[in-house]
Amino acid sequence: MGELKRTPLYEWHKARGARLIDFAGWEMPVYYEGIVAEHQATREKAGMFDLSHMGEIEVKGPDALEFLQSVMTNDVSVISDGQAQYSALCYENGTIVDDLLITKLPGRYLLVVNASNIAKDFNWLKSHIKGRVEVLDRSSEFAIFAIQGPHAEDIVAAFYGESVRSLPYYHAIELDYQDKKNAILISRTGYTGEDGFEVLLPNEYALETWNKLFQVGEKYDLVPVGLGARDTLRMEMKFALYGNDISDQTNPLEAGLGWVVKLDKEFIGSAALKSIKEKGLERKLAAFEMVDRGIPRQHCPVIIDGQPVGEVTSGSVSPSTGKNIGLAYVPTGSSKIGTEIAIDIRGKILKAKVVKAPFVPSHVKK
């Protein structure tokens, strides 16, 4: 693996015996002990994830809100300082540039975006600037750790103070790091469906903080978790992954993200989405589970009434349910729970059925 980027924790991952892979141009741990063990540890105790490859884009200026409203699908005006929001950026035709988290902080908005889309998102935002707005790509400055699981609150409170326990879901606070004021941003967010926090901090403090969090977390059975389990955890929650379930070939309405699309405001793509909504969705992202034995994978054809109607967008084992699960776009008429479908897994046509999502209950602290 030649020119791959590394996070501040690369040597730690290596020393811990991580299996490293190329993810979006970064050399990242896909697992340490094993995907299944790490997945279960996160749901039962606590897991810590290195997400430092993700992007951080800052938007500020007197016209920042107006600008963001013109590009974001969600209503940015409803979040106040210390509040986060899930949102998307769309193209004119309503398909998706990226999904992201936006947090309002004093004097600025912080966008956390997918590692695979950092340059694309930054250029998209810059090329659409209106008014007195500054857009800064600060991705190279920050590391992110996610601590997720039933013990996450205990661990983060033990290290950062009891006040984090009362941090509401999708809220964030800034904390000092020694003499650096507001150097650390802690958000009660995550991609697992468990209660947890995401800690954003400058690269210089990353390794030290990671080590200290593990020291504190030891008595709570904190384990490191790689991108493999990150994927199985989010799939069980039917959280979309850009490049799989959402892309520039899908719109947020059919992806089940209508709840972050506010069509009563104008933004890039809103006209197309209004029209799509009026016509009715032709297809919908459905959750399914295998009935016959087999593991569905991305790109496996979906067969309904003997006809291929689409492809699996995400598929895997589900360690928490013991089933094999997946997500796929199916014609709207076939998207009802209980609909029998089939998946062509490497030539074998295997029975599956549309099921309710998420596959496991959410434990976030709403």
Partner 1 sequence: MDIKALKFTEDHEWVRVEGKKAYIGISEYAQKELGDIVYVDLPPVGERFAGGDELAEVESVKAVSNIFCPLSGEVLEVNEELTHSPELINKDPYGQGWIAVIEIENPDELNDFMDAEDYDNFCSTL
Binding site for partner 1 (CB under 8 A): 19, 30-31, 34-37, 228, 232, 293-295, 297, 316-317, 324, 346
> Of 279 and 346, which has the nearer Cβ to partner 1?
346
Q: Confirm if 93 and 253 have CB atoms less than 8 A apart.
A: no
> Of 111 and 343, which has the nearer Cβ to partner 1?
343
To partner 1, the closest distance from the beta carbon of 144 in angstroms equals 23
> Of 62 and 347, which has the nearer Cβ to partner 1?
347
CA angle centred on 110, ends 212 and 364, rounded to 5°: 60
Classify 255 as helix, strand or coil.
coil
d(CA 30, CA 49): 10
To partner 1, the closest distance from the beta carbon of 191 in angstroms equals 17
To partner 1, the closest distance from the beta carbon of 316 in angstroms equals 6
To partner 1, the closest distance from the beta carbon of 9 in angstroms equals 20
> Of 189 and 324, which has the nearer Cβ to partner 1?
324
d(CA 121, CA 132): 19
> Of 47 and 294, which has the nearer Cβ to partner 1?
294
Query: H or E segment at 157?
Result: helix 152-160
Produce one character per residue of 114-129: b if its CB has 16 or more CB atoms within 10 Å, e if not.
Answer: bbbbbebbbebbeeeb
Q: Which two tokens stand for residue 2?
A: 């030649």
To partner 1, the closest distance from the beta carbon of 34 in angstroms equals 5
Per-position DSSP letters for 43-77, written without gaps between them: HHSEEEEE-TTSEEEEEESTTHHHHHHHHBSS-GG
> Of 27 and 153, which has the nearer Cβ to partner 1?
27
To partner 1, the closest distance from the beta carbon of 236 in angstroms equals 13
Dihedral sign (CA 187, 191, 192, 198): negative
To partner 1, the closest distance from the beta carbon of 187 in angstroms equals 28
Q: Is the peptide bond before 296 cis (omega within 30 degrees of 0)?
A: no
d(CA 104, CA 124): 20
> Of 39 and 188, which has the nearer Cβ to partner 1?
39
Cβ-count burial of 62 within 10 angstroms (0-12 exposed, 13-18 middle, 19+ buried)?
Answer: exposed
To partner 1, the closest distance from the beta carbon of 40 in angstroms equals 11
Neighbouring residues of 218: CB distance < 8 A, sequence distance ≥ 6: none
Q: Confirm if 213 and 155 have CB atoms less than 8 A apart.
A: yes
To partner 1, the closest distance from the beta carbon of 350 in angstroms equals 11
> Of 217 and 228, which has the nearer Cβ to partner 1?
228
> Of 46 and 317, which has the nearer Cβ to partner 1?
317
Q: Quick one: which of 233, 287, 296, 235 has its CA closest to 256?
A: 287
